[in-house]
Chain A
Amino acid sequence: MTEKEQTSLEAGPEQVLYANILRKGMFFGLVILFITFAIYIFGIMNPYIPLDKISDYWTMNVHDYLQHTNIKDGWGWVGMLGYGEFVNFIGIALLSGVTIICYIAIVPVLFKNDDKIFGILAVLEVIILTLAASGILAVGH
């Protein structure tokens, strides 16, 4: 096998960087999610909705659920981190946010390698995902 073939068989530097951040972010997010869920169900932190009342709400559509429970949508959960169920959102946000971090990390590598088109595409993806995460795009029933 030639040296060129050997090199191209391996993932590029931006791909390896992306994979490394993704792996760490995914593990970290999952561990946080499982720990916070244990805190929630074992009652270490008090829940906002009592555990025996949850089943009253998950049959409702999300609009009615928010209205009946007086929970704020968007990033409103950050202000409710003192409650058992809302600490779980830290792990959920980490899992949902790790891809944005991966993209941000590869942008400099792409531009450094003079891969301008992909650098711009990566920046565009960061904008799209950040817009989704921002909560600006609110819709509902």
Chain B
Amino acid sequence: MGKNGRWWLIGILCLVGFAVLVCPVFAAEAPHTAEAGADAHVWWYWPVVLFFVTLVMGVLAVLAGVGGGVLFVPIISGFFPFHLDFVRGTGLLVALAGALAAGPGLLKANLASLRLAIPVAIIASACAIVGAMIGLALPTNIVQICLGGTIIGICVLMLTAKKSEFPDVPKADKLSSILRIYGVYREESTGKVIDWKVHRTPLGLVLFIMIGVMAGMFGLGAGWANVPVLNLLMGAPLKISVATSKFLLSITDTSAAWIYVNKGCVIPMMVVPSLVGIMLGSFIGVPLLKIAKPTVVRWLVICMLAFAGTKALLKGLGI
């Protein structure tokens, strides 16, 4: 079997595993013990399922160009027995670990810009704390309804949002000039050196209030919102926007994660299998990028998110 064929086989096996493990009909067939408490399965059943599902998520997240956090919370809260409080806490740590792993390389390559991230991070991290506090204070069904609505909104955003490789920024705004938010990077595909600057910084910062609140409230990574604001609104080149967004998550999610950790919303038996699963999935996903069809994967992810979002909405409404 060729190298490509092997990777496809791994991908298909992962998808089959995902379907089998998540499907309640198959889940009911799993081994169980009478002493295992309210849950009929042996204690390691759900952590193992969680590992395999997050492994598939890691693969799909890389192929679809989305963060693991945005897939984790709606899917795990919709199809697993875990309470939303623990899913959000775990989701934040999963998104945080991904951002921490990517951050150093992106910073050193000068693709993630510390000068762009620092002012934005102050707003986003402070608001993520507020969002986490709101999310933990509200009744679960209300959070679930809002989560469902947000996830469906993310699907619409993924379907409609355009991207601009090198947005036209005629003139840097006053605030970004004072803060010296600009930079230079080499576009490896063309070898060209690209000078970049940003505009509409005050409006961008206002939008990060909302992004921070949502990230903290739902335990979602916020790359889905960071990138359009940095790229389309503020005019940072796409590569700078994606890299800075990923790095930014390491700061935003840190603040929200502490609120969830301090509240007790962290169960290691959920966190570690999810972390390992997502990370391994990312490793498998990167070589698959060369052969996978991004459009197909993107549609698959949008459909999965739409399904999970609808389920969260219905769950919240008690339907």
Contacts and interface: CB of A to CB of B under 8 A. Distances in A.
B8 interface: no
A52 B43 contact: yes
Contacts of B83: 58-62, 65
Contacts, number: 203
A53 B43 CA distance: 7
A33 B250 contact: no
Contacts of A10: 110
A84 to B, nearest CB: 9
Interface in B226-285: 250-251, 254-259, 261-272, 275-276
Contacts of A18: 107, 114
A20 B105 CA distance: 9
Given A85-B268, A139-B263, A55 B43 contact: yes
Contacts of B254: 96-97, 99-100, 129, 132
Contacts of B267: 54, 57-58, 85
B133 interface: yes
A122 B37 contact: no
Contacts of A71: 264
B272 A132 contact: no
Contact of B81 (A14, A55, A62, A140): A55
Contacts of A65: 83, 85-86, 264
A5 B107 contact: no
A19 B247 CA distance: 10
Contacts of A1: 193
Given A22-B103, A55-B43, A58-B267, A75 B118 contact: no
B129 interface: yes
Interface of B is mostly: helix
A96 B258 contact: yes
Interface residues of A, number: 70
Interface in A58-79: 58-62, 65-66, 71, 73-75
Contacts of A66: 264
Contact of A19 (B108, B126, B129): B108
B266 A89 contact: yes
Interface stretch (B58-66, B162-170, B176-184, B308-316): B176-184
Interface of B: 33, 35-39, 41-44, 46, 81-86, 93, 96-97, 100-101, 103-105, 107-110, 114-115, 118-119, 121-122, 125-126, 129, 133, 136-137, 139-140, 178-179, 183-186, 193, 250-251, 254-259, 261-272, 275-276
Interface of A: 1, 5, 8-12, 14-16, 18-20, 22-23, 25-26, 29-30, 33-34, 37, 40, 51-62, 65-66, 71, 73-75, 85, 88-89, 92-93, 95-100, 106, 117-118, 121-122, 124-125, 128-129, 131-133, 135, 137-141
